[in-house]
Amino acid sequence: MTEAAAPLPPARTPGRYAVALVCLGNICRSPTAHVVLARKVEDAGLGEQVRVTSGGTGGWHVGGPMDSRAAATLTAAGYDPSRHRARQYEDDWADEHDLVLAMDGQNLADLRAVSPGLAAEGRLRLFRDHDPVEPGGEVPDPYYGGDDGFEEVLAMVERTSDALVARLARAVAP
């Protein structure tokens, strides 16, 4: 899919855009994407207009910090993972966000079950729909694997976030 072929759903409030990133536990993949995308949004000068949040479909880790391996991978790449506290996706997020991006197909199915209206509006998608290298892929769960998995996740997240920021800039443009 080319960039032009995948415009974002329209902003509910013109000039503002809220995007939520969702995985299973909100301690590995979606927080990695949250930290990277928020930084790229800031660097693009869109910090006032674009709000980034993240959550998990499960609630086991709510209130806790990022997985230490995910945090170490981010720190080594120059990001600050320290402020993350895990949250659980709730149905009212559907009304509060213009776009909800799932990390894998199971997350997508779980979100569709909780927020069918969001899916019907086209506001529920896979994060990697925006990946310029392999659009439509999943962000694999690194939780039970080795450090390589976290580096692979960060590489996918960085290039996907670059493409996403370009689309967000267009979505909030006057």
Please answer whether residues 87 and 65 qualify as being in contact, where contact means their C-beta atoms are separated by less than 8 angstroms. no
The answer to whether residue 123 forms part of the interface with ligand 4NP (CB under 6 A) is no
C-alpha–C-alpha distance, residues 98 and 11, integer Å: 6
Residue 29 among the catalytic residues: yes
Residue 19 is inside which H or E element, if any? strand 17-23
**Nearer to ligand 4NP among residue 8 and residue 52 (C-beta):** 52
**Nearer to ligand 4NP among residue 25 and residue 115 (C-beta):** 25
C-alpha–C-alpha distance, residues 156 and 153, integer Å: 5
**Nearer to ligand 4NP among residue 25 and residue 81 (C-beta):** 25
Residue 23 among the catalytic residues: yes
Q: Which residues, numbered 14-33, are part of the site for ligand 4NP (CB under 6 A)? A: 23-29
Which of 153, 155, 167, 159 lies closest to 66 in space, CA to CA? 153
What residues are annotated to the active site?
A: 23, 29, 141
| Residues binding ligand 4NP (CB under 6 A) | 23-29, 56, 60, 141, 143
